[in-house]
């Protein structure tokens, strides 16, 4: 019952996406009806032609020639109607697929970060790409064959009834067998195709992870482990695929058996009626043709049902993504910050990723413009989490974070994040030129400003050595650039914008010591008059900070400047001195 409800729900959702194209659907139905009726009229003409061949020397060639011309016209009209029907079907299918992909991508843009953190990238990509493609294939087959199949069944039934109702009764009595076969196949395919689709997404996720981190896999000798994981997923995919294919593969032989059964029944009963003078030989030939055409759509519809089950299973995964709860919407009267001073206040902030595992509890911090706030502590103490809260990638569970005395939940995310400049340990670049990557936060920057920012970040020298300088095209992962060079580009990006608040999370972790000293000087000039949050594991890089927050288990256990904390001889002093111990 649950599976049926899920399938029915997915059908309703698909219909809602088809609604804007109901005119094209109506045209498709019209052309499908024309194709079916013209095709069904052809056996009547063939039967008439057979009746004009009475015997040797008794052939009405003039009548046959007239019928042949009619047949030619009908065949041409049928071809045109079928082409127009396919054109409408293709247009509806691919516009619907486009709309679904747009809806999925739009939802990804507003999903909370916890969803992205909680799902593998490969699975999300598989839903938007592979599952939508599978859905498109099933939808296209449904339009192409389901419409014509249903109309062919109804039209054939009408034509047979007009010839002889007794023989038609034989066909009608044997038809439920086809319906039973179709129902049995449909019942057993949805769950298998759903499992197949989910496992395919898992496989795509693993492939995406391994290819994106191939250097790490090879560096740690994990090739065999990855092969083992891939084999396990591949084996499950094979099992589910074989089961799904098994149920879909019995469609053709089962329905062919029913077709032959109906054909034989019509042939026997029709011959008896013809011998009694109930119908002519030509009408019997027409009836046999109709009997074949009447059962054929059931064969096609069974195949369509199988494909539609697969399509609905894939569509369900996409709709699950589209219907995911978005991030908390901005207030209708959310403040658009335009002149940020940079005073940041955290009041009784509590946060946890999982309710049963508290992370940050009752945290209180105040940072004023021009102040350098360093955040240190062991791994997992909440340093990066605090950065996520400041940027409102996550919302606090309790308490509040204010910028210039305004709760960040009452301001637009865009204006909040525009006020921050971030340089993280993990670099982020886009496919494009070096210039495109630097001006990301300031698209209207002049050439002189770009070069000045690059020089301040000590990136200008290596950029000049690139084949096309600032016009050199790089890929998303930076291509031929080293990790340090990629980090310098991210620093240049911030140097160009000079926002009122800065977040530096291990900003120089991949840079050599000599360049780091020069960049620290540039950072010092850049941080003048700006509120700066600095996360660092190398405590020697934060000695000049105005205030150092020492975090442990989500709480600030020590607070003060470098010298004060050393003299205190507490947790910070132990952390600092441990860097120089042998």
Q: Residue 2: which pLDDT band, with cuts at 50, 70 and 90?
A: very low
The residues that bridge with 549 in the sheet, in sequence order, are 375, 559
Alpha carbon distance 315, 320 (integer Å): 8
Q: Delimit the domains of the chain by residue range.
A: 2-322, 344-578
What does the pLDDT read at residue 303? 65
| Residue 429, SS3 per DSSP | coil
Alpha carbon distance 532, 35 (integer Å): 71
What does the pLDDT read at residue 555? 76
> Between helices 483-497 and 447-456, what is the axis angle to 10°?
120
What does the pLDDT read at residue 77? 92
Q: 51 versus 320: which is more confidently predicted?
A: 320
| Residue 366, SS3 per DSSP | strand
pLDDT tens digits for range 346-375 = 898 888 887 777 788 888 888 888 888 888
Q: What kind of fold does domain 344-578 have according to CATH?
A: Rossmann fold (3.40.50)
Average of per-residue pLDDT across 467-488: 81
Which of 28-32, 129-133, 426-430, 531-535 shows the lowest per-residue confidence on average (mean pLDDT)? 426-430
User: What mean pLDDT, rounded, does the chain reach?
Assistant: 81
Q: Give the whole-number percent of the chain exceeding pLDDT 70.
A: 90
Contact 286, 270 (CB under 8 A): no
**248 pLDDT higher than 80:** no
**80 pLDDT higher than 90:** yes
pLDDT tens digits for range 227-236 = 998 999 999 8
In the numeric block, which tokens belong to residue 283?
């009408």
Q: Give the whole-number percent of the chain exceeding pLDDT 90.
A: 4
In the numeric block, which tokens belong to residue 510?
């991949």
Going by C-alpha positions, the residue among 162, 409, 172, 134 that lies closest to residue 279 is: 162
Instruction: List own/partner pairs for 365-369 with CB under 8 A and 24 or more apart.
Output: 365/549, 365/556, 367/342, 367/343, 367/531, 367/533, 367/547, 368/342, 368/343, 368/531, 369/341, 369/342, 369/343, 369/500, 369/529, 369/530, 369/531
pLDDT tens digits for range 159-194 = 788 877 777 787 777 777 766 766 666 666 667 777
Helices and strands of the chain, counted as H and E runs: 21, 12
What does the pLDDT read at residue 58? 67
Average of per-residue pLDDT across 216-222: 81
What does the pLDDT read at residue 53? 75
What does the pLDDT read at residue 309? 74
Instruction: List own/partner pairs for 47-54 with CB under 8 A and 24 or more apart.
Output: 47/280, 47/282, 47/283, 47/284, 47/285, 47/286, 47/289, 48/282, 49/282, 50/281, 50/282, 50/285, 51/280, 51/281, 51/282, 51/283, 52/282
What does the pLDDT read at residue 1? 41
Average of per-residue pLDDT across 219-225: 84
Give the CATH superfamily of 2-322: ABC transporter type 1, transmembrane domain (1.20.1560.10)
């Amino acid at each position: 019952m649950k599976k049926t409800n899920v399938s029915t729900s997915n059908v309703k959702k698909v219909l809602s996406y088809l609604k804007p194209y109901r005119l094209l659907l109506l045209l498709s139905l019209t052309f499908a009806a024309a194709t079916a009726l013209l095709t069904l009229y052809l056996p009547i003409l063939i039967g008439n032609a057979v009746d004009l061949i009475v015997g040797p020397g008794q052939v009405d060639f003039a009548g046959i020639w007239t019928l042949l011309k009619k047949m030619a016209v009908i065949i041409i009209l049928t071809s045109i109607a079928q082409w127009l029907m396919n054109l409408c079907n293709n247009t509806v299918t691919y516009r619907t697929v486009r709309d679904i992909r747009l809806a999925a991508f739009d939802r990804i843009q507003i999903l909370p970060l916890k969803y992205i953190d909680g799902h593998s990238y490969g699975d999300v990509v598989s839903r938007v790409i592979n599952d939508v493609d599978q859905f498109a294939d099933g939808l296209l087959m449904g339009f192409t064959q389901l419409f014509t199949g249903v109309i062919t069944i109804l039209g054939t039934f009408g034509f047979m009834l007009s010839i002889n109702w007794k023989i038609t009764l034989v066909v009608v009595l044997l038809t439920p067998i086809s319906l039973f076969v179709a129902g049995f196949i449909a019942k057993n395919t949805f769950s298998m195709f759903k499992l197949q689709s989910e496992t395919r997404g898992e496989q795509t996720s693993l492939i995406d992870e391994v290819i994106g981190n191939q250097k790490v896999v090879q560096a740690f000798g994990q090739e065999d482990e990855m092969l083992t994981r891939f084999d396990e997923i591949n084996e499950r995919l094979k099992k589910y695929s074989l089961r799904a294919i098994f149920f879909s593969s019995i469609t053709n032989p089962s329905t062919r058996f029913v077709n032959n059964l109906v054909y034989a029944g019509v042939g026997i009963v029709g011959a008896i009626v013809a011998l009694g003078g109930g119908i002519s030989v030509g009408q019997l030939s027409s009836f046999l043709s109709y009997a074949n055409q009447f059962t054929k759509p059931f064969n096609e519809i069974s195949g369509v049902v199988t494909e539609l089950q697969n399509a609905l299973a894939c569509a369900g995964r996409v709709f699950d993504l589209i219907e995911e709860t978005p991030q908390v919407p901005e207030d209708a009267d959310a403040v658009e910050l335009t002149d940020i001073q940079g005073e940041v206040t955290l009041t009784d902030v509590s946060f946890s990723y999982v309710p049963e595992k508290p992370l940050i509890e009752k945290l209180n911090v105040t940072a004023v413009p021009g102040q350098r706030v360093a955040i240190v502590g062991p791994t997992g103490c909440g340093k990066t989490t605090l950065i996520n809260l400041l940027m409102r990638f996550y919302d606090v569970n309790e308490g509040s974070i204010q910028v210039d005395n305004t709760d960040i939940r009452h301001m637009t995310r865009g204006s909040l994040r525009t006020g921050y400049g971030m340089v993280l340990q993990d670099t982020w670049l886009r496919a494009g030129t070096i210039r495109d990557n630097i001006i990301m936060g300031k698209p209207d920057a002049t050439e002189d400003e770009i070069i000045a920012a690059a020089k301040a970040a000590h990136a200008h020298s290596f950029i000049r050595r690139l084949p096309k300088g600032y016009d050199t095209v790089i890929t998303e992962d930076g291509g031929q650039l080293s990790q340090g060079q990629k980090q310098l580009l991210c620093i240049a990006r911030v140097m160009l914008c000079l926002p009122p608040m800065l977040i530096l999370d291990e900003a120089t972790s991949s840079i050599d010591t000599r360049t780091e000293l020069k960049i620290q000087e540039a950072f010092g000039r850049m941080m003048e008059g700006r509120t700066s949050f600095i996360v660092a594991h190398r405590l020697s890089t934060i000695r000049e900070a105005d205030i150092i927050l020492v975090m442990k288990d989500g709480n600030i256990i020590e607070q003060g400047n470098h010298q004060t904390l050393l003299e205190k001889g507490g947790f910070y002093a132990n952390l600092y001195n441990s860097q120089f111990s042998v």
